[in-house]
Every structure is written in C-alpha cells, then in structure tokens.
C-alpha cells in the first residue's frame, strides 16, 4: 500500500508500477504518492499533477479489475495542505521538522540531516528527537490517516547507532509518549522496508523494540515496501513477516474489497 512513482521521487510510472506488481503476483496493490507540498518545492508531487495522478490510478484500477485490486492512496505529509479529493486510503507521515516557519527535511540525505542537526538544533540530537516525535504524535489528528507512515524515520541515518543510542531512555520516552497518543487513535502502523531497499538501513522501520511495544499495546500493523522502483514492490516481505512474528504478532492488516481486513501471518 505504500509505493511511489515519477509523480514524486519514484523511478517508474503508475502503469509500470502496477504492471510490475501484477507480474510479481501481487493481487492487492496501492500507490500512495507524496502529497503536494507547496511550501517546499520537491517535497511532494506538484499540486498541478494531482488530477493526472488520480486519473492514471483510476484508469489502472479499471484496467486490472477482476485480476488485481488497485488502490488510490496518498502519503499525506503532516504539513501538506488538507486534501479535498477522495482517496481510497491515506498514509500520514512526518518528513520535515519546522522551525520559525522554515521546513527542514529529515530524510532527504544524510548530509542535509547532519546540517539540520548542527545548524538548526545546535548539534543537540535530543531536541531533534523530541521535536520529531512531538510532530509524529499529531499525525493522526492532523491528517486523519488510515496508516501511520514510517514511524521512527529519524533513525534513517543512525545505522550502527552513529548519531545516538536507541537505548537512550530519553529517546525511548519520546517514542512511548507518541505511542500513548497514537495507539488509542486505532490506526494502522506500518512496518516499512523502504530504507533497506535503498541501502540506508539493515532493518525496517520501526525498530524491533517499538514493534514489541506496539504488540504489547495491541496495535494493528501492516507491511509495506515504500517502493520507489518497480523491482522493489515486494522488497523485504519474508523478513518483515518473520520479524513481526518474532515480536508476537499473529495478524496484519491488508486492504481487500476496499476495506481493511485482518489476515493471519
């Protein structure tokens, strides 16, 4: 349900992504392009492309009817203007920090992340962590999303814990404070392999201890590839399935016949 195309930062068209998914045996496939983000050009699809994106998705839906269910999604950034169009589902994500009216991308590149940490947060990773999770805790309230996108995105450039220890109690309390708000809102948390396929991480978002915490709190989850290339639409599914089972999950959510449904893993 979490995939991208050339309408934003993906490498393939809607038609190519859908065709690749079908060829790989997928039978329920959603694309969730990045919402327009006029305040930060390049931060999402162009507002003027929104109607073509919807039209191409509806066309793909019609073309594959009876063979594969195609869903029109949107990855709605918390700072994007509210949308008025109808989508089959929304993923709510935080990609930016905001300070004094300026937006600072979190996942653009490691160089940019380190620059933001140094120049905007005076090198204080804890204030950046706090600010990220404070914003994440508002993502459902602001976007009314079905799915919460890549929780823990701030660990993208923290492989081997080079920026902070994920055992730091301060960091962990920021995460659990956000879960205190988000879990009762009863949305679906995604387990996302996107940073692995693109070479940034060895494990999916969120980390195992967070998945265990989500399981303890009886949260619902889904698996997604956050594919930006047609070869990656099923990236990491066997590994993610093993991981969530090891964390105690026996069920995940999938969209079927236009509704979220629980299946056993």
Residues that bind Zn ion (CB under 5 A): 75, 93, 226
The smaller minimum CB distance to Zn ion, of residues 213 and 226, is found at 226
Measured from the CB of residue 151, what is the shortest distance to Zn ion in angstroms? 11
The smaller minimum CB distance to Zn ion, of residues 142 and 168, is found at 142
Instruction: Collect all residues with Cβ–Cβ distance below 8 Å to 182 and sequence separation of at least 6.
Output: 136, 137, 139, 140, 148, 189
Measured from the CB of residue 34, what is the shortest distance to Zn ion in angstroms? 7
Asked whether the beta carbons of 49 and 13 are under 8 A apart, the reply is no
The smaller minimum CB distance to Zn ion, of residues 80 and 93, is found at 93
First to last CA, the chain: 17
Residue 56 Cα to chain centre, angstroms: 22
The smaller minimum CB distance to Zn ion, of residues 131 and 226, is found at 226
The smaller minimum CB distance to Zn ion, of residues 156 and 168, is found at 156
Q: Which residue has the tokens 């508002």?
A: 138
Measured from the CB of residue 218, what is the shortest distance to Zn ion in angstroms? 25
Measured from the CB of residue 264, what is the shortest distance to Zn ion in angstroms? 26
Asked whether the beta carbons of 210 and 151 are under 8 A apart, the reply is yes
Asked whether the beta carbons of 54 and 65 are under 8 A apart, the reply is no
Per the rule left: phi > 0, alpha: psi between -120 and 50, beta: everything else, 160 is left
C-alpha closest to that of 212 among 180, 247, 186, 177: 247
The smaller minimum CB distance to Zn ion, of residues 129 and 139, is found at 139
Q: The tokens of 8 are what?
A: 């934003």
Measured from the CB of residue 124, what is the shortest distance to Zn ion in angstroms? 24
Measured from the CB of residue 93, what is the shortest distance to Zn ion in angstroms? 4
């Amino acid at each position: 349900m979490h995939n991208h195309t050339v309408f934003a930062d993906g490498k393939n068209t809607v038609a190519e992504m859908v065709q690749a998914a079908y060829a790989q045996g997928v039978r329920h496939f959603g694309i969730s392009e990045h919402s327009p983000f006029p305040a930060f050009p390049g931060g999402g699809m162009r507002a003027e492309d929104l109607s073509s994106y919807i039209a191409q998705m509806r066309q793909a839906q019609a073309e594959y009817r009876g063979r594969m269910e195609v869903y029109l999604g949107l990855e709605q950034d918390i700072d994007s203007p509210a949308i008025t169009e109808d989508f089959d589902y929304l993923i709510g994500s935080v990609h930016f920090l905001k300070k004094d009216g300026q937006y600072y991308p979190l996942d653009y590149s490691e160089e940019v992340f380190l620059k933001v940490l140094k120049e905007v947060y005076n090198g204080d990773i804890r204030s950046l962590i706090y600010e990220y999770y404070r914003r994440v805790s508002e993502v459902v309230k602001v976007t009314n999303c079905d799915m919460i996108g890549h929780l823990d995105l701030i660990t993208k450039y923290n492989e081997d814990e080079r920026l902070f220890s994920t055992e730091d109690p301060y960091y962990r309390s920021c995460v659990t404070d956000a879960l205190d708000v988000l879990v009762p809102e009863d949305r679906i948390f995604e387990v996302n392999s996107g940073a692995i396929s693109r070479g940034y991480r060895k494990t999916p978002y969120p980390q195992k201890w967070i998945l265990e915490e989500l399981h303890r709190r009886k949260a619902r989850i889904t698996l997604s590839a956050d594919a930006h290339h047609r070869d990656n639409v099923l990236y990491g599914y066997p590994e993610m399935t093993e991981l969530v089972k090891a964390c105690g999950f026996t069920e995940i959510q999938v969209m079927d016949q236009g509704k979220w449904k629980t299946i056993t893993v």
